[in-house]
Amino acid sequence: AGEGGDSAAAAGRGGFASSSSPSPREIQREILDARSIASCLEVVEQHSTFLDDVHVASLYNRVADLTLRGAKAGAQGGSSSASLGHLTELVKLRLPSMNPRSLSTVANACGKMKPADGQGQRRQRGGGDDGDGDGECAAILGHIRERVNGSLGDFSPRDLENILWAHGKVKVRLPNEELDRWLLHLCGRVEELDSRGLVSLLYSCQRLRYKPKAEAMASLARAMRDHVPAMGLKALANLLSSLAHLQSKDTVETIDLVAATICEKLAQRRGQRGEGLNLRNIANVLWSFAELQYYPPADFLRLLDESAAPLVGGQGTPLVLTTYLRACHKLARRPAPAILEGA
**161: confidence class by pLDDT, cuts 50, 70, 90:** very high
pTM over 0.85: no
In residues, how long is the chain? 343
295 with 255: CB under 8 angstroms?
no
**8: confidence class by pLDDT, cuts 50, 70, 90:** very low
pLDDT for residue 275: 65
Q: Which of 221, 160, 206 is nearest to 185 (CA)?
A: 160
| φ, ψ for residue 281, nearest 5 deg | -60, -45
pLDDT for residue 153: 96
Q: Which of 275, 272, 298, 205 is nearest to 243 (CA)?
A: 205
- Spatial distance between the Cα atoms of 94 and 88, rounded to a whole number of angstroms: 10
pLDDT digits (tens, 9 = 90+) for 23-76: 999 999 999 999 999 999 999 999 988 999 999 999 999 999 998 887 666 555
Cα 268 to chain centroid distance, Å, stands at 29
**159: confidence class by pLDDT, cuts 50, 70, 90:** very high
- Spatial distance between the Cα atoms of 299 and 267, rounded to a whole number of angstroms: 10
Higher pLDDT, 85 or 166: 166
Q: For the chain, where are the E strands, in sequence order?
A: none
- Spatial distance between the Cα atoms of 208 and 170, rounded to a whole number of angstroms: 10
pLDDT digits (tens, 9 = 90+) for 245-303: 999 999 999 999 999 999 999 999 886 765 688 999 999 999 999 999 999 999 999 99
| Residue 265 burial (C-beta neighbours within 10 Å; 0-12, 13-18, 19+) | middle
User: Where on the phi/psi map is residue 186: left (φ > 0), alpha (ψ -120 to 50), or beta?
Assistant: alpha
- Spatial distance between the Cα atoms of 271 and 303, rounded to a whole number of angstroms: 11
pLDDT for residue 340: 80
